[in-house]
């Protein structure tokens, strides 16, 4: 696998250079030079993870705009996907010893904004993941898709990942008509004080069921970040395990079946789960399955995401 090839190559180069540096009888034995060389080589040996893959599944089967969603979702079968997109930020890779390493998101023209600052404060990088392609029942979407986040993190013995769903606070209440991509999406935008839709998940069973996640009960001015949001609704997703997380061969998966576990789409109860959905009993299942309590705080254990 690529991981092991890169690691082996770096170790081989490191060993060769060290042998030349310290075994050459004609070289000067300056300890400062040796320390600088070692530090440089150690930095070189930290090869980078450059991409985190994401996907949407129902059980072990992938979900797309083609055909029906496999298995049972929200007490229905034969459902079709209509839309599925969500923002992520503050990605961290979890090492076997439990420590966490930041995954730095790249700046891109279409899907990602790197960390930075504006007149309101500093913000982490953010990326939009888009799993619809405007075909079939997803005809109201866009043809472009994005199933990964590009960036960098040093190689480590990773067993899991942590990330937040949503848009960073100091970017969340901007004007989407002047914002840079991916924050210029009209499909992912709400009113000023609501900010962006952190997640837009829609499927059709007996009727269309909409789950739109975003901050609510926000107060403040309407020309920039508000002062507070009573219901932040920014889930912190943490996935850990005893086996390794190989970012080259594995993906972080949203299991739509688990997201809607407990919900019922056979009637009209979850047709409109957006806005103040935390307080609606029929809609609360999705919030709970993302680890959000009724107040929109990320205090519960999520069950919707895994690594496959």
Tokens of 290: 């993302």
The pLDDT of residue 221 is above 80: no
The pLDDT of residue 45 is above 60: no
Q: What is the rounded average pLDDT of the residues 187-209?
A: 91
Q: What is the rounded average pLDDT of the residues 35-53?
A: 59
Tokens of 123: 């913000």
User: What does DSSP say about strands 251-255 and 48-58: parallel, antiparallel, or unpaired?
Assistant: parallel
* DSSP class of 213: E
* DSSP class of 173: T
Q: Would you say 218 and 230 are in contact if contact means Cβ atoms under 8 Å apart?
A: yes
- Output b/e per residue, 72-95; b: 16+ Cβ within 10 A: bbbbbeebbbbbbbbbbbbbbbbe
Q: What is the pLDDT of residue 14?
A: 41
The pLDDT of residue 273 is above 50: yes
Strand, helix or coil for residue 302: coil
Q: What is the pLDDT of residue 73?
A: 95
Compute the Cα dihedral for 241, 247, 249, 250 and give only its sign.
positive
Averaged confidence pLDDT in the chain: 86
* Confidence label for 277 from pLDDT (cuts 50, 70 and 90): low
Tokens of 74: 């929200």
18-22, 33-37, 144-148, 192-196: range with lowest mean pLDDT: 18-22
Q: What is the pLDDT of residue 34?
A: 54
Q: What is the rounded average pLDDT of the residues 33-56?
A: 64
Three-class DSSP labels, 34-76: HHHHHHHHHHHHCCEEEEEEEEEEECCEECCCCCCCCCEECCE
Q: What is the rounded average pLDDT of the residues 239-256?
A: 92
pTM of the model: 0.84
Q: Would you say 270 and 264 are in contact if contact means Cβ atoms under 8 Å apart?
A: yes
**For residue 2, is the peptide bond before it cis, meaning its omega torsion is within 30 degrees of 0?**
no
The whole-angstrom separation of Cα 118 and Cα 257 is 39
Tokens of 232: 């932040």
Q: What is the rounded average pLDDT of the residues 46-71?
A: 91
pLDDT digits (tens, 9 = 90+) for 73-115: 999 999 999 999 999 999 999 999 999 999 999 999 999 999 9
The whole-angstrom separation of Cα 273 and Cα 203 is 12
Q: What is the rounded average pLDDT of the residues 21-30?
A: 46
* Confidence label for 192 from pLDDT (cuts 50, 70 and 90): low
Helices (H), ranges, the chain? 2-23, 31-45, 169-172, 256-259, 284-289
Tokens of 127: 């990326």
* Confidence label for 2 from pLDDT (cuts 50, 70 and 90): very low
Please count the CA atoms within 13 angstroms of the CA of 302 that sit on its side-chain side.
Answer: 25
């Amino acid at each position: 696998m690529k991981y092991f090839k890169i690691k082996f190559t770096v170790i081989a180069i490191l060993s060769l250079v060290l042998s030349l540096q310290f075994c050459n009888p004609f070289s000067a034995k300056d300890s400062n030079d040796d320390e600088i060389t070692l530090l440089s080589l150690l930095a070189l040996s930290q090869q980078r993870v450059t991409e985190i893959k994401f996907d949407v599944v129902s059980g072990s089967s992938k979900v797309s705009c083609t055909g029906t969603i496999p298995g049972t979702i929200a007490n229905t079968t034969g459902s079709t996907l209509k839309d599925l997109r969500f923002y992520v930020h503050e990605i961290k890779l979890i090492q076997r010893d439990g420590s966490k390493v930041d995954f730095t998101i790249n700046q891109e023209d279409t899907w990602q904004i790197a960390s930075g600052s504006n007149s309101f404060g500093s913000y982490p990088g953010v990326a939009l993941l888009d799993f619809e392609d405007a075909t079939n029942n997803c005809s109201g979407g866009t043809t472009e898709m994005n199933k990964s986040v590009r960036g960098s993190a040093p190689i480590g013995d990773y067993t899991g990942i942590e990330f937040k769903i949503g848009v960073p606070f100091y970017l969340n209440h901007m004007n989407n008509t002047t914002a840079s991509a991916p924050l210029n999406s009209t499909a992912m935008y709400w009113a000023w004080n609501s900010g962006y839709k952190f997640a837009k998940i829609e499927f059709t069973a007996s009727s269309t069921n909409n789950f739109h996640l975003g901050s609510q009960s926000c107060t403040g001015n309407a020309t920039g970040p508000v002062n507070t949001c009573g219901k932040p609704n920014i889930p912190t997703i943490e996935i850990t395990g005893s086996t390794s997380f190989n970012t080259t061969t594995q993906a972080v998966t949203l299991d739509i079946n688990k997201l809607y576990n407990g919900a019922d789409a056979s009637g009209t109860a979850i047709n409109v789960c957006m806005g103040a959905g935390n307080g609606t009993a029929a809609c609360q299942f999705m919030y709970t399955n993302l680890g959000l309590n009724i107040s929109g705080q990320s205090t519960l254990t999520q069950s919707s995401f895994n690594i496959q």
